[in-house]
Amino acid sequence: MSTGSPEEEYFARLDREKKAAMAAQLDAEAQVKNREAQRALHKGHCGRCGGKLVPQSFRGVEIDVCEDCSSVLLDPGELEALAGKDESGVVASLASMFSFGKKK
């Protein structure tokens, strides 16, 4: 146990709690900045090879195609627009599997 007075221990505890709260806040802010930097770094680039994504019109829907590996990136709603109304639920099940469907 510490040899300081109860008052000193109280203020030391408050100081530790404030430092812990400040460290947690700084860590959260750093994580947000890191996510934003990652988004800015990867925006407009292929997730597969890192090549540049080029917008192209396909059946009236603008999709992004990688100019290096020809991968296709569909934004939310573009799969449904291309596939049309899904009577069997296949598109809906794919959407829920990849988490780009409507959230409940």
Domain ranges of the chain: 1-43, 46-73, 74-104
The per-residue pLDDT string of the chain (104 residues; one tens digit each, 9 = 90 and over) reads 456 799 999 999 999 999 999 999 999 999 999 988 888 877 888 888 888 999 999 888 899 999 989 899 888 888 888 887 665 666 667 777 776 545 54
Query: b/e per residue, 19-34, with b = 16+ CB within 10 A?
Result: eeeeeeeeeeeeeeee
Q: What is the pLDDT of residue 104?
A: 47
Q: Where are the alpha helices (DSSP H) in 1-104?
A: 6-42, 78-83, 90-97
Cα separation, 57 vs 54, whole angstroms: 10
Give residue-wise pLDDT tens across range 30-47: 999 998 888 887 788 888
Bridge partners (DSSP) of residue 56 are: 63
